[in-house]
Chains A and B, each alone.
Chain A
């Protein structure tokens, strides 16, 4: 053998020996340091969506799976999963699937750029959070949606899209009620609502009537017509805004929206989209409103 070949043989022999030794140690460690784990965790995790969205109240899908096995929660708590897969989990664990009404994220504002005026130009970072920190953003209505799309960006399920008027529209089929949009909106306009809450106030403006109407065409002015038309106690006016008492949701019907002059109170149809009453002012404008003139001096 030439010296070069013997060197190669020595090196590969050494590496092979080292490999065998380390493999032996690993094999030994695998046996000695084995932590017994419930194999069902793995199985259940495979049936979960693995989105780690946190909508169930646990940090991610694995902690949720562990909680399921411990019997602390029920499969239906996962709103992202399909009912069939949740049923499969329930069968695997021999528990009932549990019931939970489907929640969806809902926005309490209808003030797109074509109906809600702006009073100042905002030029900074394209983020609602940033705009809200600069004098509350440039929108005339200080309560309303700024339309810069923090919610669209925060939604991991692509369930929120800004429409042409800069207003977020929730795709209720995709919405998993994870709550990310609720957390990010600086104006607190999103909330998670059971789908059975069909009667909905699509506005958050608490200003008195004249001021509110100067800022937005679809504002709730607190006129009280819906309060009169709805069964007693279902709707009340608080700080110039209609508030629905959802403990009496069984009484709700589209009657309440019929006389609303601005269409601020709506009935959510089966497709998840809001329907205005017949007296609501028709909006035909497609262009954004121009910037407001400074209000006359008081």
Chain B
């Protein structure tokens, strides 16, 4: 096993090797953009229960101050990313489509925009429960895309033990380079976050998985690890979706997360490198998550790069600052090209889980190919990293047999990576089918 993986490079089975296009931004240091005049902070921008607004129309807030509190344990607070005035708490458009309640802030012009609110603590003196509470107070959620609250990820249910913390530094989506730049520029913060997370979950060792297309980041991280620390950085093969947590666990540890299970069922907790860098920065200072790094890239951007953007900044403000050559929102993608979604309006804000903003103008020669019947070539079966049968699932979805998809073909193990749609020569929108099926099955159950 060990010998084989040495020969092949550490990896998982199937998946796809797509062009990466990371050279556009991989060499660009993280920079700031001017503050937008108006920020929109949706109260449900994370997985779980929405936050409850703490501010009223007309109230002045300082940068870093909480504007919404967690509503129960499966929720996180939201902090003001700028010093300014609350314009309103209203229904606002979001990237997902339906309008949701949001705190609208008008930035105070001429303010230095220093962080003016913090509740520092000494993490070394805290127990597990207090640490998890402190993590929740930072409002931190997974920075890789799913926006899953970090304190929930670090809470291990009774009866389960975690031996290994896995740090996800793969960033396998094409174009995106946020984690790459964070690992390169802030390796000390990533490692600080790693130590805090290890302390919280009680892990004995840490494995940091970084794709082998980022040798500089691997070297930077290795330079920060003490001689006797049980932390190892491992280069893994650059292949999509290496950065999916279940794939990465398989690659690094050879363990398979059971169907319907979570990583802690096999003794592992996975966190994204960018999330841990935020944890290492925010937790000791007792600050809230108010900004994040976003890769702004694609052929339609004048100055592609990695930008530190306040949460709630409208896409239009970012694109105007970097220059763009396409204003058809259906050519603008939030997230990566494989799993991200196009937007319907440029007035939607950057939320805590958005790692990329891509502008892809329609090329003159591009033909939008229509979907053709399945020719049973089986390429989707060779691509599906979880070993599902996308062709059969697609056939059932077209016949609206959604329950059979779940009961007989393990639809719920699909994490919508998009490999099947990517390789399908008939252009069948398989992942779209699966998303519909999952949504309808969820509604039927509730």
| Docked complex Cα distance between A136 and B432 (Å) | 13
B346, A294: Cβ atoms closer than 8 Å: yes
Contact of B328 among A121, A184, A295 (CB under 8 A): A121
Contact of A134 among B342, B345, B371 (CB under 8 A): B342
B357 proximal to A (CB < 8 A): no
Give per-residue flags for B71-107: 1 if the beta carbon is below 8 A from chain A beta carbons, else 0: 0000000000000000000010101111100000000
B429, A124: Cβ atoms closer than 8 Å: yes
A123 proximal to B (CB < 8 A): yes
| Docked complex Cα distance between A184 and B402 (Å) | 12
Give per-residue flags for A158-200: 1 if the beta carbon is below 8 A from chain B beta carbons, else 0: 0000000000000000000000000110100000000000000
Given contacts A122-B330, A123-B330, contact A138 B344 (CB under 8 A): yes
Given contacts A136-B98, A142-B98, contact A120 B435 (CB under 8 A): no
Interface residues on B, range: 20 to 34
CB distance from B184 to the nearest CB of A (A): 32
Contact partners of A133 in chain B: CB under 8 A: 97, 341, 432, 435-436, 439
| Docked complex Cα distance between A97 and B195 (Å) | 73
| Docked complex Cα distance between A295 and B328 (Å) | 12
A125, B95: Cβ atoms closer than 8 Å: no
Contact partners of A209 in chain B: CB under 8 A: none
Contact of A121 among B91, B330, B345 (CB under 8 A): B330
B347 proximal to A (CB < 8 A): yes
What is the chain A residue whose CB lies nearest that of B435?
A133
B368 proximal to A (CB < 8 A): yes
Given contacts A120-B342, A127-B436, A136-B344, contact A294 B327 (CB under 8 A): yes
B126 proximal to A (CB < 8 A): no
Contact partners of A139 in chain B: CB under 8 A: 344
Q: Which of A122, A125, A142 has the most CB of B within 10 A?
A: A125
| Docked complex Cα distance between A139 and B343 (Å) | 11
CB distance from A107 to the nearest CB of B (A): 18
B263 proximal to A (CB < 8 A): no
Give per-residue flags for B411-446: 1 if the beta carbon is below 8 A from chain A beta carbons, else 0: 000000000000000000100110110011001000
Given contacts A119-B345, A132-B97, contact A298 B38 (CB under 8 A): yes
Contact partners of B443 in chain A: CB under 8 A: 183
A10 proximal to B (CB < 8 A): no
B316 proximal to A (CB < 8 A): yes
A111 proximal to B (CB < 8 A): no
A135 proximal to B (CB < 8 A): yes
A286 proximal to B (CB < 8 A): no
Contact of B345 among A120, A127, A183 (CB under 8 A): A120
Contact partners of A184 in chain B: CB under 8 A: 440
Contact partners of A120 in chain B: CB under 8 A: 328-330, 342-345
What is the chain B residue whose CB lies nearest that of A133?
B435
B346, A124: Cβ atoms closer than 8 Å: no
List A226-260 residues whose CB lies under 8 Å from chain B.
239
Residues of A within 8 A of B (CB): 119-125, 127, 129-130, 132-139, 142, 183-184, 186, 206-207, 239, 294-295, 297-298
7 sampled A-B residue pairs with Cβ under 8 A: A124-B429, A124-B432, A130-B435, A133-B439, A135-B341, A207-B91, A294-B345
Given contacts A130-B429, A135-B96, 6 further A-B contacts (CB under 8 A): A120-B343, A125-B433, A133-B432, A207-B91, A294-B327, A298-B347
